[in-house]
Amino acid sequence: MIPVTEFRQFSEQQPAFRVLKPWWDVFTDYLSVAMLMIGVFGCTLQVMQDKIICLPKRISMANQTLLLNSTTEPAPAPPLPPPAQPSPASGVSEMKGLKTNLDIQQYSFINQICYERALHWYAKYFPYLVLIHTLVFMLCSNFWFKFPGSSSKIEHFISILGKCFDSPWTTRALSEVSGENPEEKDKKKNTLNKPNLNMLVTEDNSGKTQPLKSVPEKLVVDKPTAGALDKKEGEQAKALFEKVKKFRLHVEEGDLLYSMYVRQTVLKVLKFLIIIVYNSALVSKVQFTVSCNVDIQDMTGYKHFSCNHTMAHLFSKLSFCYLSLVSVYGLTCLYTLYWLFYRSLKEYSFEYVRQETGIDDIPDVKNDFSFMLHMIDQYDPLYSKRFAVFLSEVSENKLKQLNLNNEWTPDKLRQRLQTNSSNRLELQLFMLSGLPDTIFEVAELQSLRLEIINNVTIPASIAQLEDLQELALYQCSLKIHSAATSFLKENLKVLRVKFDDNRELPHWLYCLRNLEELHLTGSLSPDVSKNITLDSLRELKSLKTLSLRSNFTKIPQCIVDVSSHLQKLYIHNDGTKLVMLNNLKKMTNLTELELVHCDLERIPHAVFSLVNLQELDLKENNLKSIEEILSFQHLHKLTCLKLWHNGIPYIPEHIKKLKSLERLYFSHNKIEVLPSHLFLCNKLRFLDLSYNDIRFIPPEVGVLQSLQYFSITCNKVESLPDELYFCKKLKTLKIGKNSLSLLSPKIANLVLLTHLDLKGNHFEALPAELGACKALKRSGLIVEDALFETLPSEVREKMKVE
């Protein structure tokens, strides 16, 4: 007998695939097993039992006599016994045949001949037809699990689904949502007690409707204990989010699974119709008695036989049973077709999940992704609900936040604290996935610097950082809680923002009424259609320093809004020509002004109206002439003038009018001659003339008795005047990269010298008088090692002692 288990391979699939088998597929599988058993049982009977049993037909005496006379054998017949007297009740005589010794073999032969010739083909092959049809049904039902193009998607989906269902993060996310708002929990409990007509429904096996949310609510509404995820579980959940994203992009591209399932269902319906039609017509051909004519009377003496189909009665009953099973199978397939075409299976809405969980950003899906979720709902809607957690960007951000908090503990953050240039304790974070909540536990934090961090959310807990005064946001897209905005309004003193698009420029900066310094770096323009615009800064009542690194063509009007209290303005252009500077005249309180890389060809006349100006920086412009420098004599508070990195060929003589100058930068120009009038600015403490074409230093340099820093690095000077050594307050002297060949022993007069650059000259030896510069150490003496060795050993040893 053939065991049913031998046919398991035709319908076998992985156990995990059962989640994609709705009730009708499970039901038809059981029907297939029943039909398979009918087929196997019939085939077994065919093999093990006699198929047909034949006996000669009873015929009349006349026919028998005619039969005997028709024999061609002339030999005399053997003596016959006296004929029996016919019974008065019967008109036929006893049948007689030829005597042989092969009775059993004769009838076996006749049975086989009659089985092949007289029995209808349906009666002969019924169990085999049942077996073949059932196997076809099984193949159709499970083909989409076996086809390579679809099975790979299904296996991947089932794998991800199982991990999402069992992930600790899913339980935690749903538990947090159910426990966030007590009022919402009460509403949900009331909803369970009262029927909700608007609740989404699904169909059960009997066609009735039931609430779709009734199944998962059992596990979610109860307030579970949400344990903390360890690092490994957090990383696994993070990897799951990435897998779900990639899988969704891949599966939503087509509808292969949906098409295959529809086609195999249609094929089963067609198969059902064919089976019903021909079986209904042929089932009557299964007869218990069959007449058979076999032309072997020479052997047996008989031609007409009456045969008994031994399994006809059983096959007739099995056929009716089989037809009943096929009918139920077909009706189930018709219902499946109705479900496939009546429901919109290429779109799946998570509306009920969004309502239950409060996670509003769970997206709807389409195509094969949608179809598989609809199939999952027929198995258990809880799968879809738990899977939806990994489609939510909010949920992913929460997980990232949790992982961040686990990675960046308060102790680790405290180890990264450094003192910045403003003498504040600063924490710098670079290229993180978010902002760790543990930052707000570092109460001593004074400055927070965030670089290239997307989706930064500043919560209300920032109020815990009572000492926070400085915030730097470099290419960070940021969201902020309203309570956090209120805190920053009161506490923030310095804000630095570097941005590439409008999302990175915080809108709340315009209401920081206690802000004192604002530093913006990015593309800004008055033209709204081209770049990001800068709104009015009128609300920044305490703003004293404004730094803008952008591409202005004119001074923005927003700067004028704060002109009454603005003291320092720094504009660093990207080389764009700054042509309209009239607004500068209104900023009479400015003490520092930088116009860097603005392609200025002349010193702007508007600058001369800034009577409180103390420092002016015109670095990296295109200045060719500075004759306007005479007008600076009206700026009595001007102490620092930076005209470096330009193309200035000479210094006008009337620079002597700038009596208040203390620092003067002329480096990186094209100056060849130093006018002696320059040294009449006798308050100069800092003079930088490096990187020019100067060949001669006038002896009037000795007038600068307050000079502390003097640099002529990278010029063409061949000798230094002795008067230079009268500047006894010099602490830094840079004369490297020139053509000097001798260093005067008068260098000993510079007893306060701490930094001396001699490298790149033609010195053959250093004077021993360098030892008189008691403040000069080896680290402050920039010179070739070989030249340093020319000093006396005691001088060298003295300098090496730090």
Question: What residues contact 133, with CB distance under 8 A and at least 6 apart?
Answer: 35, 39, 271, 275, 326
First-last CA distance in the chain = 103
For β-strands 592-596 and 615-617, DSSP reports them as parallel
Low-confidence ranges of the chain (pLDDT < 50): 1, 7, 10-11, 61-91, 100-101, 180-227, 528-530
Residue 216: predicted pLDDT: 38
**Long-range contact pairs involving 722-726 (C-beta distance under 8 Å, separation at least 24):** 722/746, 723/699, 724/697, 725/749, 725/750, 726/702
For β-strands 545-550 and 568-573, DSSP reports them as parallel
- How far is CA 655 from each of CA 537, 679, 779, rounded to the nearest angstrom? 37, 9, 36
Contact indicator for 368, 254 with CB cutoff of 8 Å = yes
* Per-residue b or e along 249-266, where b marks 16 or more CB atoms closer than 10 Å to that residue's CB: eebeeebbbbebbbebbe
Contact indicator for 467, 443 with CB cutoff of 8 Å = yes
Residue 223: predicted pLDDT: 36
CA gap 520, 548 in Å, rounded? 5
Residue 681: predicted pLDDT: 92
Residue 114: predicted pLDDT: 83
CA gap 334, 610 in Å, rounded? 90
3-state SS, residue 15: helix
Nearest in space to 552 (alpha carbons), one of 572, 566, 529: 572
Map tokens 């000259």 to a residue.
761
CA gap 33, 14 in Å, rounded? 18
Contact indicator for 446, 424 with CB cutoff of 8 Å = yes
Contact indicator for 789, 764 with CB cutoff of 8 Å = no
Map tokens 């001659």 to a residue.
673
- How far is CA 379 from each of CA 201, 212, 376, 663, rounded to the nearest angstrom? 14, 12, 5, 82
Question: What residues contact 183, with CB distance under 8 A and at least 6 apart?
Answer: none
**179, 181, 186, 189 alpha-carbon torsion, rounded to 10°:** -40
Residue 698: predicted pLDDT: 94
The radius of gyration of the chain's CA atoms, rounded to the nearest angstrom, is 51
pTM score, whole prediction: 0.66
Residue 434: predicted pLDDT: 82
Tokens of 779: 């680290």
Residue 323: predicted pLDDT: 87
The strand pairing partners of 384, in sequence order, are none
Tokens of 343: 């429901």
* Angle (nearest 5°) at CA 592 between 589 and 597: 125
CA gap 402, 169 in Å, rounded? 10
CA gap 394, 756 in Å, rounded? 61
Residue 634: predicted pLDDT: 87
Contact indicator for 512, 489 with CB cutoff of 8 Å = yes
Count of CB atoms within 10 A of residue 487's CB?
A: 20
Query: Edge to edge, what strands does the sheet with 304-309 contain?
Result: 52-56, 304-309, 289-293
Three-state helix/strand/coil letters over 375-426 = HHHHHCHHHHHHHHHHHCHHHHHHHHHHHHHHHCCHHHHHHCCEECCCCCEE
Question: What residues contact 6, with CB distance under 8 A and at least 6 apart?
Answer: none
Q: 312-342 and 23-48 are packed helices; what angle lies between their axes, rounded to 10 degrees?
A: 160
Residue 6: predicted pLDDT: 52
CA gap 229, 405 in Å, rounded? 11
pLDDT above 70 coverage of the chain, percent: 83
